[in-house]
Amino acid sequence: MSSLSSVSRRRRPAFVVSALAAGLLLAAASSASAATFNGSGAITTDYVWRGTTQTQGDPAVQASFKATADNGLYGSIWGSNVEFAPETKASSELDFIVGWSGNVADDWTLDVNLTHYRYPSTTVDLNWTEAIGTLTWKQNYWAQLGYSNDALATDEAGAYAQLGAKFPLNDQVRLEAAVGHYWLEDAYDDSYSHAQLGAVWAFKAPFELRVTAHATDRSAKTLFPDLAGSRVEAALQAAF
């Protein structure tokens, strides 16, 4: 749910996806006879996205709001503080997401969406959009693919893949693991892999405490030397 950019980008014409997303969020609420609304909030020691920090290792406050129609169409808005290269003056991120989610077979769920990453406080254009699909089995195992022709606001194509799993230990504790690979040859003449392993304790509904260890390969450290590597984040999160 974020951008990986740590350097200045040239300014491109403003993109109107955020306005479209806001409109479709309202459409999701009115396209069926009823809709459900939910949200979440989190305080984390580090905002890590695809293995790299988005806050230079500093804490982040995050929140989201989602509207889902009976037919599976949904729209959501997610936000966080960020910290990139000083010349970008980036301090906040807003993700506008529109998509569809539903069962496609017994125990199988598909989610397809368009995510627009937007940075309203920057002096350069870091905004970009990505199409993402996630196939989930029995709510505990998933495979995700993402593609953008403007990956990380570079005007170049990039693709991302992730495999992940949840392992419930009891009603309150679960482990979560994922591995991912980001193909960025068009933009950076390289690609990188990352992995994460976390534990989640649902100690009192709706609150959860999460601790996650992240690691990236050498390519990530070469591409993003100040952002990649090994790190641990802890977060207090809640859904409502």
Distance CA 170, CA 37 (A): 28
Q: What is the pLDDT of residue 7?
A: 44
Angle at 91 between CA 85 and CA 96, to 5 degrees: 115
Q: What is the pLDDT of residues 191-216, one digit of tens each?
A: 999 999 999 999 999 999 999 999 99
Tens-place pLDDT, residues 24-56:
555 555 554 578 999 999 999 999 999 999 999
Q: What gap in Å lies between CA 83 and CA 227, rounded to an integer?
A: 11
The whole-chain average pLDDT of the chain stands at: 90
- Which candidate, 227, 10, 18, 237, places its Cα nearest to that of 119? 18
User: Architecture of domain 17-239 in CATH?
Assistant: Beta Barrel (2.40)
| Angle at 214 (CA atoms; ends 109, 223), nearest 5 degrees | 100
